[in-house]
Amino acid sequence: MSVEVTRLPSGLVVVTDRMAHLETASLGVWVGAGSRDEQPDEHGISHLLEHMAFKGTSRRSARQIAEEIEAVGGDLNAATSVETTAYYARVLRADVPLALDVLSDILTDPAFDAEELRREQNVIVQEIGAAEDTPDDLIWDRLQEVAFAGQAVGRSILGTPATVRSFNRASLAAYLARNYRGPDIVIAAAGAVDHDRVVEQVERSFASFTGPAAPPPAPAHFVGGSRIESRELEQVHIALAMHGLPHRDPSLYSLQIFANVLGGGMSSRLFQEVREQRGLCYAIYSFHSPYSDSGLFGLYAGTDAADVTELMRVVVDEINAVAETANEAEVNRAKAQMKAGLLMALESSGARAEQLARQMIYWGRPIALDEIVAKIEAVTVESTRAAGRALIRRGRPAIAALGPGGGLESAAAIADGLARQAA
């Protein structure tokens, strides 16, 4: 097995997978803290910190950070999610030390310059405005807010213009000190990498990340309900969520297969019935996103206002139908898609590094491909149906809708009937 793991005394983990056929490497720093780790007065600070990390250190200006990586043909980026924040690079084999040096520099010695902060706050406010103008993005923020109402896990990752503009150097430094600690950090690398050399450099460059693990976030509680917004749009955008499962739940793979059978591709029930047979929409799909202690089973469709009520009736019928009639051919097809996705990820060093980092964060160990495949293969028709039935019984769904017309309330009421039907 080419995967190697080293736990440093600080608790920081280094995990690598040497992919001998590659001349490039993907590497990054994954922090087990995201938007749900924010305090009530910190809404959006995780994302702002991610931006500010690239805006200069005592050794490099913001421009130099970008130029040093791009001068060797590499790229550098970052992403904030509900539970993690990642900073990552892709470079040639010879430039792995440079990428590690830049990544350690921006995280151990960010300048948080006042003028850079002012500019980046304005950039993020523009990003918030762009999201407000993009309904098929905005709908997910609205859905998360309804699903986990009144909780950090339910707030948008970007924050609001007011909260983003309220932060200063001290608040950024305090959030970083509280959440970026050795036990909460995984440095993952895949491709043309040497594990021992990566560990040696990490020991030197990330030595300042010490202390105990950050305090855990408040437990997530799925609430449900609906949020309807009338907007002058060409389409109605509607999303539905149900209370899903956490990463380590024994039924996770069965629920993932249920999601795939329902709306995971062109052969899925929803795509075939809603789009191909009835022509009610262009885009429709379902998915399941697990968290550390909860999960969100989601479904999205965009349709004409005149069709939204019929579409939702069909969606509810198909959710119930898959829970009762999912068959062997559908389950086997979904399992094949999951296994193919795993194997395809192994062909990308970036996807592989991210996969390893997430496994270390959520499972505490790298999970062998054979083990994952065995869990997928263990899913049966009955376990898929059972996962669907349990999903429907788990409580009131969350519904978010944006668009024109008077049918949004009736569509939401139809979706809300899922829980009543299961009672």
Which positions are annotated as active-site residues? 50
Which DSSP string do the residues of 163-226 spell out, in sequence order?
HHHH--HHHHHHHHHHH--GGGEEEEEEES--HHHHHHHHHHHTTT--SSPPPPPPPP----EE
Q: How far apart are CA 238 and CA 406, in angstroms?
A: 14
Q: Which residue has the tokens 């119930």?
A: 320
Q: How far apart are CA 143 and CA 122, in angstroms?
A: 26
Residue 248 and residue 317 in contact, taking contact as beta carbons nearer than 8 Å:
no
- Select from 52, 54, 96, 59 the least CA-distant residue to 74: 96
- Select from 1, 2, 3 the least CA-distant residue to 186: 3
Compute how many other C-beta atoms are within 10 angstroms of the C-beta atom of residue 6.
17
CA-based torsion, 237, 48, 84, 390: positive or negative? negative
Q: Which residue has the tokens 């160990």?
A: 365
Residue 16 and residue 186 in contact, taking contact as beta carbons nearer than 8 Å:
no
Residue 339 and residue 370 in contact, taking contact as beta carbons nearer than 8 Å:
no
